Amino acid sequence: MGKIVNFDLLYLCFYVISLSFAFLSQGFKRKILYCLSDLSFFIGFIIHSITFIFKWFSLSIIPSRNLGELLDTTALILVLVYFGSKLFLKNREIAFFLLPFVVLFLFGSKIFIFKTQETFAFYSSVWFPIHILLLVSGIALTIFAFIYSTIFIMQDYSLRKRKIANELMLPSIETAGRLGKNYLITGFVFLTSGLFTAIYYGIAMKGENPDYHPGLLEVGTFLSWLTLGISSFGFIRSSMKPKKRVMLLMVGATLFLLIFFGLLWH
């Protein structure tokens, strides 16, 4: 177990190094620093993945039994989406925005001690990892939509301020808008599927866990999903002005994440 803790700190270290390079790469010698940032990011990702798989095998349960583990899994899926989308997109600037989320989630999972619930019977169900992976992927994709929306607002702001040169080499407004929308829709589909699988296996396994009583967590999750759903609907509605749409999405995504993780914290 001691070794696992060391590995936990090791990949966190690589992510922090990567974040430092990502901040520095916005200035002089951008390319070299960016490469160093991406390299550290990738090494961190590899160690993170191996540690995650090792934990999964040793626990026989996907490591998401408490908020700390869920945050760690979310951080891993975020990085996975980043490297996965690299195959199709030129997204080097995204690391700059993504790494703070990754580091924040990991710090959150390492700093605070979370109580692990007793192993319920439904943990062993195949639906549990499906539910977790769908849910976490949905969260990760929503965070990507949030990041692209932020870029959209930043680009719009600098254009209105007559700062024509794209100093941060960010994606164009059109790209940011399109990718934000795509990530949002995909993320919402994943989230919804994640919630439905939870309902499905919850009902199916009910008999095996008599202590289980749906309560605040379930209602809150539904509310957070509804909040995101409303803002996503507003975003996709093309009759709405672009800046308002993006602002709505950002507010919706922030509320969703706050409610969701707040509930788990509670």
Q: Which contiguous run of DSSP H or E holds residue 5?
A: helix 2-24
Contacts 24+ apart (CB under 8 A), 39-42: 40/14, 40/15, 41/14, 41/15, 41/79, 41/82, 41/95, 41/99, 42/83
Give least dist CB 138 to other proteins, A: 26
Give least dist CB 239 to other proteins, A: 7
Q: Quickly list DSSP for 159-181.
A: HHTT--S-TT-PPPHHHHHHHHH
Nearest CB to other proteins, comparing residues 31 and 115 = 31
Q: Which contiguous run of DSSP H or E holds residue 182?
A: helix 173-204
Where along the sequence are the contacts to other proteins (CB under 8 A)? 28-32, 155, 158-160, 162, 164-167, 171-175, 177-178, 238-239, 241-244
Which residues make Cβ contacts (< 8 Å) with residue 243, sequence separation at least 6?
153, 156
Nearest CB to other proteins, comparing residues 28 and 57 = 28
The number of beta carbons lying within 10 Å of the beta carbon of residue 162 is: 6
Q: Minimal CA–CA distance to 103: which of 78, 85, 81, 84?
A: 78
Give least dist CB 160 to other proteins, A: 8
Nearest CB to other proteins, comparing residues 37 and 137 = 37
Give least dist CB 262 to other proteins, A: 33
Nearest CB to other proteins, comparing residues 121 and 168 = 168
In 50-140, DSSP assigns E strands to none
CA distance to 44, 89, 137, 257, per residue, from 80 (Å): 11, 14, 9, 19
Nearest CB to other proteins, comparing residues 90 and 206 = 90
Torsion sign over Cα 78, 117, 188, 53: positive
Give least dist CB 108 to other proteins, A: 35
Nearest CB to other proteins, comparing residues 140 and 170 = 170
Give least dist CB 240 to other proteins, A: 8
